[in-house]
Chain A
Amino acid sequence: MADLVNLTINGVAIQAPAGTLLIDAAKKVGIEIPAFCYYEGYSLQAACRMCLVEVEKMPKLQTACTLPVGEGMVVRTESDPVVKARKTTLEFLLTNHPLDCPVCDKGGECELQDMVFRYGAGESRFTEMKHHVDEKQWSPVVFYDGPRCILCYRCVRVCNEGMGVGALGIVNRGVNSEIAPSHGDHLECDECGMCIDICPVGALTSGTYRYKTRPWEMKHVGTICTFCSNGCKTTLGVRDQQIVRGNNRDRSGINDEFLCVKGRYAFDFVESPERLTSPMMKVNGQLQEVSWAKALAAVAAKFSEVKGRGGKFGVVGSTKTTNEENFYLQKFVREGLGTNNIDHHRSGDLVTLIDALAGRENALASVGDVYNAKAALVIGTDLSQEHPLLAFQLRANYRHHNSNIYMVTKGPVREDAVAVAAVRAEAGQEIAALDQLREQLSKESELLVLFGGSVKGEAVRKLVAFADSLGIAKIKYICLVDYSNSRGALDMGLLPDLGPGYKPVDKAGLSLPQMMAATDLDVLWVVGANPLARYQLASKPFVVVQEMFLTETAKAADVVLPASNAYEKSGTVTNVTGEVQKLHVAGKTMGTKPDLEIIGLIAKEMKINAGVWSSNAVFEEIRKAVRGYNIPLPIIATGQAAQTSPLNGRVPVASAPELIQPAGNTLFTSGSLGRYSKKLTSVLEYPGQLYRP
């Protein structure tokens, strides 16, 4: 802990650790010093002069955003010279500002508006014509309105430092200065919208949100992004049942204010015209719309008949449905239909990791650990493509803590730029390459190991043995999985050989490829997955599909039941690091039902009592039945994440690495879901080009 320094702000004696910036020290004791360019976590700029304060014995007003506290400092933040300077600064900032607040997206939540309201001058001494330039579109998601820009450099810094992209700059000088995109007239970048989010004014605006609403006309729903396993919290802005914005401006959740292009913009799949809104049944080879009652009755009749004659079921669960839905599904399948033939698309070998780490405590890392670990070893994944939040956290860790990062990947990756060592190894050969890093790694005092889906089966055990042999006291792991609830699907036991909490079942059922290859499958029931995009069916079972869209699998169905999605239901999901978070309903789509309700209705129709299908009730069951899920409810109820750890005893199942198939998603794809987002598919980089300057 740094030494404490004594100083006085506005007559109040305070203490702050040496090196603290005056602006932060003041904030800690509840004194706000206004600022535009200063932004916690990014480099200092001192561009706006809004934070000027009076410091005794210093000849001029000082920028509180760059001045470290000093022993005996006497600071005044509201004295006459300060107030006057603030007014003048604002008068300057407004010299060429168009004052178009009545139509500006930012109106009502604009930092410039707030500052002028609080500190500003109502009059301007400038009588010159305002300098005007036209608004520009740089990409389907980023627009720039130069006259509103106050040149605070926040966007430039977040793109350079936060994203590691460096797609923005400031060109020209003086009154002509403006922000410029990477490619002259357009942007080629991550399209993350972080620049828009961080802009204090309405200079950068978003393609999904611009001119759609006023901020106060929206309902704000804090929920969890449904695109990848990282589990970012996103606050959806909903107006008239339509989601118009996604951001995490309040910095709640594990992702601070980070969102990638998918979380921020791809929510429009919800209102895709291709959305299924009525159940359908195959009549003469054609899918035709039918009522829910008819569709459910047909499914229940078929299920009962097959169950009655001891026929063969195959059930494929989802990596995007909630924990409650997954738990309820496997319970109904195991107890109601009497089979263990249940599986899902597995993208990481967590099962082997849990077995290899049996008995250890605190061996699984959280997203927070990615930011705090002193050293990190990343194996077999292009983090910026596949795990945007983890990549963001790792970069922040390097920036703020100068952590040592080691990369073992197939080709060059963005993280190489912040790595102390980067080793190239083909998929599946990564473990052999680790020895090259042994010497450097053994000097570390703690280590975080992240590994992708190409490290599976024996390789996972070898990895753990390698890490153990380094003699590092504190080692934590993240087994990377791909989808928003891939982790929950594993934890809830959507597996043929393991039930909830990785408890082995009596008699293992069929795995996904085995179901597909079976020649005598009677029923294939697919809940929110698209296996036929990857496999062919060997037999001709009765196919029931719960889906949002007419995917390859839905097209082959005998009955299609239109499902709702994560933004339309409640329940919980578990992210890649085992952190459980709660979903909240942003809106509903007529004609669809949450999968939990659909499963419940099928059970009811079959006269099987599978328990009530309310997510709260099912979660209570999960807390009792699933190892690690006995988490404190207030934590998730208040929108925070509670980490679960399934580590305990051994998991006695045969390792089946061939069942693990990484999805290979890029920053711009998410299995079948991403292709239904117009915004996502319209960016230049779609489907997968990662910008490398």
Chain B
Amino acid sequence: MTFSPQLEAKLEKLINSYPAGRRKSALIPMLMFTQDEVGSVTPELVNEVAKRIGIPPVQVDEVVTYYSMLHKKPMGKYHVQVCTNISCLLWDADKLYEHACHKLGLGHKEVSPDGLISLEEVECMGACSWAPAVQVNYDFHHHVTAEKFDEIIEALKKTKTQ
């Protein structure tokens, strides 16, 4: 499996920034970067990453299945992530997530039929100070209320008609 020249260069730099024998530290960023290009963490990608850093594929799988930002199936163009961990939960994130499901007609890790939006209930994203937090791809949205959530979604939907 090969990636675009830009990504290959990025990966090479990444791997070489760790001393020999500790290259497996590159695992998570490597998975993130390659997932962005491939679309999801496919079995081939798992094997490729395992080969490149010299660990058994099952150890890559351990990481892939642990972190909510890594997906084995392709998500929507806009991946909407609602945190329901403790800080956010204290700010009614459970209700926000319910609202999100309702608004989008999607459940956990489901993708809209047009492939535009997907939803996921995620673990803490490190945005606790601005709870409840929502992340769309790599963009954060803070202190999200139901109204604010709708606005975000409408804005996303508009990009399709443009």
A residues whose Cβ falls under 8 Å from a Cβ of B: 166-173, 180-182, 184, 693
Contacts and interface: CB of A to CB of B under 8 A. Distances in A.
A138 to B, nearest CB: 12
Contacts of B50: 693
A182 B66 contact: no
The 10 residue pairs across chains A and B that have the minimum distance between CB atoms: A169-B58, A166-B56, A693-B56, A171-B65, A169-B62, A172-B65, A173-B66, A182-B58, A169-B59, A171-B61
A182 B62 contact: no
A128 B26 CA distance: 39
Nearest to A172: B65
Interface in B48-63: 50, 55-59, 61-62
A286 to B, nearest CB: 54
A172 B66 contact: yes
B105 interface: no
Interface of B: 43, 50, 55-59, 61-62, 65-66, 123
B contact face: mostly helix, strand, loop, or mixed = helix
Among B57, B58, B59, B65: residue with most chain A CB under 10 A: B58
A387 B137 CA distance: 52
Contacts of A180: 58, 61-62, 65
Nearest to B59: A169
Nearest to A693: B56
Nearest to A165: B56
Among B43, B56, B123: residue with most chain A CB under 10 A: B56
A171 B59 CA distance: 9
Contact of B56 (A167, A172, A173, A184): A167
Contacts of A171: 61-62, 65-66
Contact of A184 (B43, B55, B66, B123): B43
A693 B66 contact: no
B65 A182 contact: no
Among A167, A169, A173: residue with most chain B CB under 10 A: A169
A397 to B, nearest CB: 20
Contacts of B123: 173
A169 B61 contact: yes
B65 A181 contact: no
A50 B61 CA distance: 28
A58 B55 CA distance: 37
Nearest to A173: B66
Contact of B65 (A167, A168, A173, A693): A173
A180 B62 CA distance: 8
Contacts of A166: 55-56, 58-59
A182 B62 CA distance: 11
B66 A167 contact: no
A129 to B, nearest CB: 18
A28 B100 CA distance: 59
B66 A181 contact: no
A180 B72 CA distance: 15
A184 B50 CA distance: 14
Nearest to B46: A184
A136 to B, nearest CB: 14
A173 B61 CA distance: 12
A680 B17 CA distance: 46
Nearest to A160: B56
Contacts of B65: 171-173, 180
B60 to A, nearest CB: 9
A693 B50 CA distance: 9
Contacts of A172: 65-66
Contacts of A170: 62
A168 B58 contact: yes
B77 to A, nearest CB: 26
A182 B50 CA distance: 12
27 contacts: A166-B55, A166-B58, A167-B56, A167-B58, A168-B58, A169-B56, A169-B58, A169-B59, A169-B61, A170-B62, A171-B61, A171-B62, A171-B65, A171-B66, A172-B65, A173-B65, A173-B66, A180-B58, A180-B61, A180-B62, A180-B65, A182-B56, A182-B58, A184-B43, A693-B50, A693-B56, A693-B57
